[in-house]
């Protein structure tokens, strides 16, 4: 294909992305350095004042810590759990297709629906979850309604929604292992544990990195589950950076400050995703080709 045709085919999509993503993005960065309010069209450049104010604010530090805690919780729960489920699904049986279609459901229903579903079930007084727990002798929990348990509860809900993502990707990884490799090990008398440690785990490392890339970046910017369940409450216990930015803009109409918050979040997400992306590209070069 000639270079001219290539440019021609790319022209409109690139123009669309420039107008719809890059232009607002640049405007957004400029806004972060201004005192822009929601209901006034005018604003003036104030340098780093938004950032200086933010980094002097304990509430902002807390929101960074919450965002990182949430992301770490998500990754460290969902990857091992997803791997367990993938191994479970690897065994051929009549029930396997049913399990697989079940697994896809939480990923394809709206996150806000998932959030509301769990919020309903986690009602401390009348919810089904506490009732189920009481049947096996576990005392009722406060779930989303208490400062100490709210963030953990959102991690639990996120786990329900996104563990299937980890499981499906890792299952695809396990299924891509050449059968000869697996059989050879088993013929040599390797048990399930050894096969896992010596063959399966090393093979799926790039897949694990890929899951981490998606789960880390999605969790850093997670918004909809929080909005549907707690909107940052109770007492700011789940006020992550993305929620904080939304509130700064639409509740306190400080768009400049809101953009400063998102910009910091974007920087964090950008460097982490670049790091994971290069790591993944290097790893995946070994046994499959990409892009």
Partner 1 sequence: MNTVKLTRNAAHALAQVLFIGFFVFPIIWIFMMSLKNFRDIISYPPKFLFSPTLQNYRETIQGAEGTLRAGELPEYVRFLLNSLIISGGAVCLAVLLGIPAAYALARGGLPWRKHIAFTFLSFRFAPELMVILPMYLIYTQIGLYDTYVGMILSHQLICLPLVIWIMMSFFQDVPIEIEEAARIDGASILLTLRAVILPISGPGIASAMIIAFIFSWNNLIFGLVLAGPNTRPVTMGILQAMTFDQIKWGLMAAAAMVSAVPGMIAATYLQRHITRGLTMGAVR
Could you give the CA distance from residue 12 to residue 5 in angstroms, rounded to a whole number? 12
Q: How far is the CB of 46 from partner 1 (least distance, A)?
A: 17
User: Any contact of residue 270 with partner 1 (CB under 8 A)?
Assistant: yes
| Least distance CB 199 / partner 1 (angstroms) | 19
**Which of residues 239 and 242 has its CB atom nearest to partner 1 in the complex?**
242
Instruction: Please give the backbone phi and psi of residue 112, each rounded to the nearest 5 degrees, phi first.
Output: -65, -30
Residue placing its CB nearer to partner 1 in the complex, 21 or 201: 21
Cβ distance to partner 1 smaller for residue 151 or 249: 249
**Rounded to whole angstroms, how far apart are CA atoms 120 and 4?**
57
User: Candidates 147-155, 179-187, 195-203, 209-217 — which segment interacts with partner 1 by CB under 8 A?
Assistant: 209-217
User: How far, in Å, are 11, 131, 151, 207, 277 from residue 146 at the CA level?
Assistant: 52, 18, 9, 36, 37
Residues 19-48 that bind partner 1 (CB under 8 A): 20-21, 23-25, 27-28, 31, 36, 41
- Kindly provide the b/e burial profile for residues 11-39, where b requires at least 16 CB atoms within 10 angstroms of the residue's own CB: eeeeeeeeeeeeeeeeeeeebbbbbbbee
**Which segments within 105-187 are labelled E, that is strand?**
none
CA distance 201 to 177: 10
Q: Which range touches partner 1 (CB under 8 A), out of 17-25, 44-52, 144-152, 180-188? A: 17-25
Q: How far is the CB of 108 from partner 1 (least distance, A)?
A: 3
> Which listed residue (101, 148, 179, 188) binds partner 1 by CB under 8 A?
101
Among 10, 65, 138, 147, interactor with partner 1 by CB under 8 A: 10
Q: Site map for partner 1, 219-258, x if CB under 8 A?
A: -xx-xx--xx------------xx--xx--xx----x--x
Q: Which of 70, 143, 165, 203 binds partner 1 (CB under 8 A)?
A: 165
Site string for partner 1, 109-138 (x = CB under 8 A): xxxxxx-xxx-xx---xx-x--x-------
Between 90 and 185, CB nearer to partner 1:
90
DSSP reduced 3-state for 39: coil
- Alpha-carbon torsion, ordered 35, 41, 44, 48, to 10 deg: 30
Residues 44-83 that bind partner 1 (CB under 8 A): none
User: How many C-beta atoms surround the C-beta of residue 169 within 10 A?
Assistant: 20
Nearest-angstrom CA–CA distance, 222 and 229: 12
Q: Judged by CB under 8 A, which of 108, 136, 187, 193 binds partner 1?
A: 108
Angle at the Cα of 187 (from 183 to 191), degrees rounded to 5?
A: 90
Is the CB of 106 or the CB of 232 nearer to partner 1?
Answer: 106
């Amino acid at each position: 294909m000639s270079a001219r045709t290539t440019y021609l085919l790319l022209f409109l999509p690139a123009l669309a992305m420039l107008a719809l993503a890059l232009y607002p993005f640049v405007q957004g960065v400029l806004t972060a350095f201004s005192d822009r309010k929601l209901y006034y069209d005018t604003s003036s450049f104030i340098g780093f004042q938004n950032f200086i104010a933010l980094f002097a604010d304990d509430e902002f530090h807390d929101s960074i810590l919450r965002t990182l805690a949430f992301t770490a919780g998500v990754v460290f729960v969902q990857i091992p759990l997803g791997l367990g489920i993938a191994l479970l699904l690897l065994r051929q049986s009549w029930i396997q297709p049913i399990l697989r279609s079940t697994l896809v459901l939480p990923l394809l229903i709206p996150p806000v629906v998932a959030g509301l579903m769990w919020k309903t079930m986690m009602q401390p007084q009348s919810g089904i979850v506490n009732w189920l727990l009481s049947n096996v002798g576990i005392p009722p929990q406060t779930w989303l309604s208490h400062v100490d348990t709210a963030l953990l509860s959102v991690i639990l809900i996120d786990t329900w929604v996104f563990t299937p993502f980890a499981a499906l990707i890792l299952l695809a990884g396990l299924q891509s292992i050449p059968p000869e490799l697996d059989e050879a090990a088993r013929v040599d008398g390797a048990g399930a544990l050894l096969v896992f440690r010596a063959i399966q785990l090393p093979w799926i490392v790039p897949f694990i990195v890929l899951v981490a890339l998606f789960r880390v970046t999605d969790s850093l910017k997670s918004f909809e589950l929080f909005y549907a369940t707690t909107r940052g409450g109770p007492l700011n216990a789940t006020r992550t950076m993305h929620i904080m930015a939304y509130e700064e803009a639409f509740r306190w109409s400080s768009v400049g400050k809101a953009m400063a918050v998102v910009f910091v979040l974007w920087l964090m997400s950008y460097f982490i995703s670049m790091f994971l992306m290069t790591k993944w590209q290097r790893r995946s070069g070994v046994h499959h080709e990409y892009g």
